[in-house]
Structure 1
Amino acid sequence: MSEEKQFSRRDFLKTTGVATGGIIGGSLLGGLIGFNLDGDSNNKSKDSGDNEGNGGQDEHGGHGGGGSFDVPDRGRIFFENDSDFATIEAAMERIFPETDVGPGAKELGAAYFLDGQLAGAYGFNSKEYMQGPFYEGLPTQGYQSNLNRGEYFRLGIKKLQDEAQDRFEESFSNIDEDKQDEILQDFQDDKVDFGVPKSTATSGYFFTMLRSATLEGAYCDPIYHGNRNMEGWKMKQFPGHQHSYLDVIDADEFKEIDPLPNFS
């Protein structure tokens, strides 16, 4: 084997050094991408030139240094019905509305976050005991329903739509904000009859789950399709997944740091 084709000790040290940096930054794979085991570790891909000509834009649509970041939009997985999705988006927006401080739940993509959660283990209660007997739970107890969360949310969305039709003869997503708030307040106060035993589902507990999902969608890591462009983190001045704080840890004053996503 020729010297050019050997994976030399020097190449190994160079590569493991890069990998170590990748671990610190949260991505071992990122430190190894682009290394040529034939020994040519200095070749640059054509993509690197394209990125330079694109203002340093990374593969996720954002820029290095935490300036701008977007996870590409995806299709819905759980909410197949447009009306259901519009209803949950509208309800989340009233729980976390847009203000002069920043965007609301809709712009942050909180409903897309919930869509992904309900399509996975959370929605199917995959890691929880789901056998009977079932009794109405106490306020201090956790999830007690024989429905999984996906079924619970479908029932809750149907009741949001039913209440809007019965009261205002219009879909929930199309009534004005005051009317939406009126319905959601009754849900929170557990005044809406779900038409099932209270051990199965209640409007109050549905509102609790909806509120939690809304906040999680607003502040989650953007990889989960909420917190678009890290705007939720920016409102909280949360720095995200920084590689290190060594340059500011001794500072006497508060330092504003542009947030970074988990896979920056």
Structure 2
Amino acid sequence: MSDEKQFSRRDFLKTTGIATGGIVGGSLLGGLVGFNIDSDVDVNEGVKDSDTGGSTESEDKLNIPDQGRIFFSNDEEFETIEAAMERIFPKSDIGPGAKELGAAYYLDGQLAGAYGLNSREYMQGPFYEGKPTQGYQSSLNRASYFRLGIEKLQDEAKQRHDDSFSKLDGKQQDDILKDFEKDEVDFGVPRSTATSGFFFKLLREATLEGVYSDPIYRGNRGMAGWKMKQFPGHQHSYLDVIDSDGFEDIEPKPNFS
């Protein structure tokens, strides 16, 4: 066989520069979801006061203050969304849950910005209840949608158990969230405005984003979400390991390292 025909895929990656970063990092996370991994992930590595929303070493570089919240000024709102996220992505023997990973802080920042205001989306009428194949259809922006959803989580908790959602046990919280997911909770507004099923979808998406986001957005504390998936983060280059025949467990790096 000629040398030209022996040109390998690995050689292609090296000569095209794909292996030096860029698109590999964007696609690798999705491919690693579902991998079996070791459970010795320490979310507190590089973290201070993680249980109380304290800042990480990464956050310190950005001058983000402890307990700093932008959108959720009300403690009850924040504790409710934090508890709901924890039930969607709970702590296990594999690693930390959404609360320790700071997913609620990620959402806090997103709702205060373009995502929460739908500032880059067409938001004029007419408004109709969306089909499963359609995207965002509500007349409410996401910030208002989340506030309504949190209010309904609290209403359900108080009606069923006479307590705040964050104070319920896991099974009680799960029962409420399952009814949200099945679209069985009445939001008290026209369905073209908001539904519990779509709120659950938004909440689940935000939870996973907060767990696996770059730490610069205040989720994925200590890069523990990446470590659970053995995702290397933003590496400057893979040239030193591309010739390896085995899997390379690379210490992840954040975007601002």
- Shorter-chain-normalised TM-score: which range? 0.7 to 0.9
Match of 1:150 in 2: 143
Residue among 139, 143, 156 paired with 1:163: 156
1:100 and 2:88 correspond? no
Match of 2:208 in 1: 215
Q: Indicate the percent of aligned positions where both proteins have the same amino acid.
A: 73
Q: Within 5 A, what are the aligned runs for 1:63-74? A: 70-72=58-60, 74=65
1:187-242 CA distance string (max 9 Å, x none): 00000000000000000000000000000000000000000000000000000011
Contact 2:187 2:195 in 1 (8 A): yes
Match of 2:248 in 1: 255
How far apart are 1:70 and its partner, in Å? Answer: 3.7
Contact 1:87 1:173 in 2 (8 A): yes
Match of 2:198 in 1: 205
3-state SS, counterpart of residue 257 of structure 1? coil
Match of 1:175 in 2: 168
Contact 1:69 1:230 in 2 (8 A): no
1:239 and 2:227 correspond? no
Change in 2 beyond 3 A, CA 1:25/1:246:
closer
How far apart are 1:69 and its partner, in Å? Answer: 5.2
3-state SS, counterpart of residue 80 of structure 1? coil
Contact 2:129 2:191 in 1 (8 A): yes
Structure 1 runs not aligned, ≥5 long: 1-23, 27-60, 63-67
How far apart are 1:243 and its partner, in Å? Answer: 1.3
Computed over aligned residues only, the root mean square deviation of the Cα atoms, in angstroms, reads 1.7
- In 2, the alpha carbon distance for the partners of 1:186 and 1:83 equals 21
1:110-136 CA distance string (max 9 Å, x none): 000000000000000000111110001
3-state SS, counterpart of residue 135 of structure 2? coil
1:124-163 CA distance string (max 9 Å, x none): 0000111110001100001000000000000000000000
How far apart are 1:252 and its partner, in Å? Answer: 0.4
Letter in structure 2 aligned against 1:145: S
Contact 2:21 2:238 in 1 (8 A): no
* Structure with higher RCO (Cα < 8 A, 6+ apart): 2
Letter in structure 2 aligned against 1:191: E
Letter in structure 1 aligned against 2:165: F
Residue among 53, 61, 69 paired with 1:76: 69
Residue among 121, 133, 140 paired with 1:128: 121
Structure 2 runs not aligned, ≥5 long: 1-19, 23-45, 48-55
- In 2, the alpha carbon distance for the partners of 1:243 and 1:69 equals 20
Change in 2 beyond 3 A, CA 1:255/1:25:
closer
Match of 1:11 in 2: none
What TM-score, normalized by structure 1, do the two folds share? 0.74
